[in-house]
A = this chain, B = another copy of it.
Amino acid sequence: MDDKLVTAGVIVIGNEILSGRTQDTNLQFIAQYLVGKGISIGEAQVVPDIESIVVRTVNDFRARFDYVLTTGGIGPTHDDITTDCIAAAFNVRVVVNADIENRIRSRPAPDDVLASRLRMARVPEGATLIDNPTGGPQGFTIENVYVMAGIPLVMQAMLSTIEFRGGAIVHSRSVTAHLGESEIADELASIQEAYPRIDIGSYPFYRNDIYGTSLVLRSADESALDAALEELCAVITQRGQTPLDIERD
């Protein structure tokens, strides 16, 4: 919609998400972080620890999005297969990175423990590192693919060190009304038609015995957002309700 739309695809790697054992929170964190950088997430996929599926998804996403971010599967155990998958996707060898190796060796450990940890020094040939401010082994980048840990705090630390080149920053306006979606659907559709460059979302809710709808307008064009918000508030007032919780981001 914007002149310069920069997109990202997110790949969440891990059986624990698909089995329901773990609630993923990385996608939302990454989405909110990238919005501030002028990058929109185009799609996200949650994939199991199966090489063929990870490889296929990485190759699909890296062709379709400016950035691809992956989380999970870069630890020291048998189910950590992301590095091998990324190497396979790029058809390159896996090599040992000296910087990661040094970081791992700086922490004393018995030989067998060290050997397992050194699995984390393996990266696809040609990769560069993503720093890990928590002090653990680094992540890595190859072309437009950014490979990060799955543990939220480590992922967040790694993400904070990546320099993204984003596009126009997408801003938002939101307002809530104690009206059902269908009570304003026509007017919403008209406003959407009048402002084709604004993404207007309508999200019904029911809480504390009150039903209502949250309306979210998103666009890089702040003056259009303000004008559309004003029209929306007028619609809510006309329907006998008060525009609530107006937020501008």
Contacts and interface: CB of A to CB of B under 8 A. Distances in A.
A201 interface: yes
A46 B48 contact: no
Which applies to chain A's interface (DSSP): helix, strand, loop or mixed? mixed
A203 B22 contact: yes
Contact of A43 (B30, B48, B206): B48
Could you say how many copies of this chain the assembly holds? 2
Contact of A27 (B24, B183, B189): B24
How many A residues touch the partner, as a band?
A: 35 or more
A92 interface: no
A31 interface: yes
A108 interface: no
A78 B200 contact: yes
Interface string A205-249: 110000000001010000000000000000000000000000000
A45 to B, nearest CB: 5
A112 interface: yes
Interface stretch (A94-102, A114-122, A124-132, A138-146): A114-122
A25 interface: yes
A186 interface: yes
B41 A47 contact: no
Contact of A183 (B44, B46, B116, B205): B116
A185 interface: yes
Interface string A14-44: 1111111111110111111111000011111
A40 B18 contact: yes
Given A78-B200, A79-B200, A185-B116, A27 B31 contact: no
A24 to B, nearest CB: 7
Q: Nearest 8 CB-CB pairs, A to B?
A: A20-B31, A116-B185, A20-B32, A116-B182, A44-B46, A77-B202, A76-B182, A78-B189
Interface of A: 14-25, 27-35, 40-49, 53, 75-80, 109, 112-117, 119, 151, 153, 170, 172, 180-186, 188-189, 192, 199-206, 216, 218
